[in-house]
């Protein structure tokens, strides 16, 4: 069972339906016992960093998530679900994140471009992240994703902030929007994306299948 963590934020219906379409059994839950019982976890998030962390702590799920990460349970973060894995954000300066990764979330600095960064954009898969390829390159269809800017590698973004890890090898993919932005991070049992795979058509569904099908 894949648990989509419900803490009052995120497009839970769309995420759960997209994961179900990948062939997985899905449960949307904020119950700590059900989260602990899951084979894999998905941590969605929309809105402000501070609100997400406030809700997560109010639900008592911050400790559960850290516990499961420590146990080695695979976790996929989506949008602000990626950002709150870091220590903090310029969006909410006095709010601490989960601190799984060192680094902060910074405002997009895209001179001459509208912020938020909203719409379809291509990604480049990092060559120096050993976990990146297993999520972005499906074993049966190696041409589905590309490290070049073509129609097969476009994902849907809606964000004004992006994570800046202290350890740059944590970055699994980037996208360009006025500057190079973190599009995904991956290490050990954690994989998180800034874009919305549930809104990204066939490539988004394939990405979810890759996560569901991986140990």
Supply the mean pLDDT for the chain.
Answer: 90
- Which of 70-74, 101-105, 139-143 shows the lowest mean pLDDT across its residues? 139-143
Here the tokens at position 128 are 């120096």
73: pLDDT confidence band, cut at 50, 70 and 90? very high
- Residue 147: the pLDDT is 45
Q: What are phi and psi of 163, to 5 degrees?
A: -75, 140
Would you state the pLDDT for residue 148? 43
Q: Which residues are catalytic?
A: 79, 196, 198
Cβ–Cβ under 8 Å, residues 156 and 204: yes
Model confidence at 152: pLDDT above 60: no
Give the per-residue pLDDT at 133.
79
Q: What is the DSSP code (8-state) at residue 141?
A: -
pLDDT average, residue stretch 97-107: 97
Rounded Cα distance, 208 and 13, in Å: 15
Domains of the chain, first to last: 2-213 (3.40.50.880)
């Amino acid at each position: 069972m894949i648990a989509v963590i419900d803490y009052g934020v995120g497009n839970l219906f769309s995420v759960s339906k997209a994961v179900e379409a990948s062939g997985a059994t899905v449960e949307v839950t904020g119950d700590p016992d059900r989260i602990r019982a899951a084979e894999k976890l998905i941590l969605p998030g929309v809105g402000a960093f501070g609100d997400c962390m406030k809700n997560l702590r109010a639900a008592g799920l911050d400790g559960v998530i850290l516990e499961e990460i420590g146990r080695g349970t695979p976790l996929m973060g989506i949008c602000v679900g990626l950002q709150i894995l870091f220590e903090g954000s310029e969006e909410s300066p006095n709010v601490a994140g989960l601190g799984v990764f060192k680094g902060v979330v910074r405002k997009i600095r895209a001179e001459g471009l509208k912020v938020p960064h909203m719409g379809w954009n291509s990604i480049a898969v990092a060559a120096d992240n050993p976990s990146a390829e297993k999520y972005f390159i499906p074993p049966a269809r190696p041409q589905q994703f590309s490290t070049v800017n073509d129609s097969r590698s476009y994902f849907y973004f809606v964000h004004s902030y992006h994570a800046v890890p202290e350890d740059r090898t944590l970055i699994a993919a980037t996208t360009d929007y006025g500057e190079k932005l973190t599009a995904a991070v991956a290490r050990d049992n954690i994989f998180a994306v800034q874009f919305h795979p549930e809104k990204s058509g066939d490539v988004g569904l394939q990405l979810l299948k890759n996560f569901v099908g991986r140990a």
